[in-house]
A and B are shown apart, each in its own frame.
Chain A
Amino acid sequence: MIIIEKEVTVRNRAGLHTRPAASLVKLSSRFDSEIFLIRDGFMINGKSIIGVMTLAAENGCVLTIRAEGDDAEAAVNEIADLFEQGFGEI
């Protein structure tokens, strides 16, 4: 099993609010790998919208994306891209 981790920064001004959280979860659910998001040791399932929103990630905060599974690399890269583009909000 492949495990990949990558750090990302929340770039959109409003932070990881409901809409970005939904697009993140939609994207993670497309992969077979298990996706986790980690903030300050608090690790949640990246395919759960409630979980993602629990991070209450504000603009500028750093999260770790972790993927475990065969398509882990693609998953981490695509999710990181989504963060990089600020969920289409910048």
Chain B
Amino acid sequence: MRQIDDLKPMVQEKIPVEMLLNSPVKLVKLTNETGLENFITDKNLHRPQLALAGYVGLFTFQRVQIFGNTETLYLKSLSRIARIKALQKICQFKIPCVILTNSNTLDQELIDIFVAAGIAVFMTEYDTTKAFSMLSDFLDDQFSPQLVVHGSFVDIYGVGCLFVGRSGIGKSEIALDLIERGHRLVADDVVMLTSKKESLLMGTGTSLVQHFMEIRGLGIIDIRQMFGIRSIRFQKRLEIVVELEDWDDKETYTRTGLDEKSINIMGIEVSKVKLPIFSGKNITVIAEVIAVNYLLRTYGYDASQVFSDKLNERIRKKSGPKKYFEDKRIIPYFKDLE
């Protein structure tokens, strides 16, 4: 079986300036169609203060240039000649686009310098700080690496569980069973994983498939229509990868759960559970238990650790199994007798 960690992620190396118009900062075009086909190759933003002042060493011109109040007022403070010179200087560089914040504008003759250089200029009503963070988020999302994974992605009690395994092992059937029990489907068969700020993974479906699903022997069904809106969701953070495998006598499966396994997907560590399948085993219930156990661990209770500590305590006291015979049944034995 092809493992998730050796799949190659898709990385967007450049996006056209035009894409910025889809960002939430509500950009207004000041240069019509000029420069919309330029490419942005860097997800960071830049405020070109020193460059405007004439120092262009280390000028990160390939970034989106943000003109805040400082830049606009500085330009206004210059003489007309100096102002034009300053802009001509930065326009020698291949800047993808310029964004004016706080609804600031530039004189038409300054805009024309940008147009001549083929640089798009936009305006936004947001202040610099707000526009900066919104645009950073937007560009971070556009440039984040993505991976297409073959599996079923279900939200179980709020825990994002991705089921992977060979074709025909029953990933979709497990997902269907979980949906029947009130859990929510994120995507089946084609799951897109997006790395967010290099710290977590978000899973979604594709716009074509959404919540359609194929069940072998049945065909294609639509989960949203069959089970209603509460049985689906559009995106979910990936927290556990459940690897389904055919039972193998020679493979050693974890018995205590003390050694937590994880898988590295696009540089992000995600918990991994290897689950052997054989007939008569209720995977759905086990999947729910995996999710709940993960929740307990996240909230600070690790059952395998607690049990192990209890055992160590017994060993330390050297009381052995004869203690069980001493524990009288009349006393509820969940009460801690020690």
Same complex origin of A and B: yes
Among B10, B150, B208, point to the contact of A41 (Cβ < 8 A). B10
Across the interface, which residues of B come within 8 angstroms of A50, CB to CB?
Answer: 188-190, 209, 212-214, 220
Report the separation of the CA atoms of residues A44 and B147 in the bound assembly, to the nearest whole angstrom: 10
Sort chain B's interface into a size bin: 10 to 19
Q: By DSSP majority rule, is chain A's interface helix, strand, loop, or mixed?
A: mixed
Does B7 count as interface, using CB distance less than 8 angstroms?
A: yes
Number of interface residues of A (CB under 8 A): 16
- Is A42's CB under 8 angstroms from B10's CB? yes
Does B316 count as interface, using CB distance less than 8 angstroms?
A: no
- Is B209's CB under 8 angstroms from A29's CB? no
- Is B148's CB under 8 angstroms from A42's CB? yes
Kindly report which residue of chain B lies nearest to residue A50, judged by CB atoms.
Answer: B189
Q: How many A-B residue pairs have CB under 8 A?
A: 47
The segment from A7-15, A51-59, A81-89 that touches chain B is: A51-59
- Is B214's CB under 8 angstroms from A54's CB? no
Does B168 count as interface, using CB distance less than 8 angstroms?
A: yes
Does B254 count as interface, using CB distance less than 8 angstroms?
A: no
Report the separation of the CA atoms of residues A43 and B320 in the bound assembly, to the nearest whole angstrom: 57
**Nearest-Cβ distance from residue B238 to partner chain A, whole angstroms:** 18
- Is B206's CB under 8 angstroms from A54's CB? yes
A54 and B190 in contact, given A41-B10, A49-B214, A68-B2 (Cβ under 8 angstroms): yes
Across the interface, which residues of B come within 8 angstroms of A49, CB to CB?
Answer: 189, 214, 220
Kindly report which residue of chain A lies nearest to residue B11, judged by CB atoms.
Answer: A41
Does B167 count as interface, using CB distance less than 8 angstroms?
A: yes
Report the separation of the CA atoms of residues A51 and B7 in the bound assembly, to the nearest whole angstrom: 16
Q: What are 7 contact pairs spanning A and B, CB under 8 A? A: A41-B10, A45-B150, A47-B168, A48-B167, A54-B189, A54-B206, A68-B2
The 7 A-B pairs with the shortest beta carbon distances in the complex, nearest first, are A50-B189, A47-B167, A45-B150, A48-B189, A54-B190, A41-B10, A50-B214
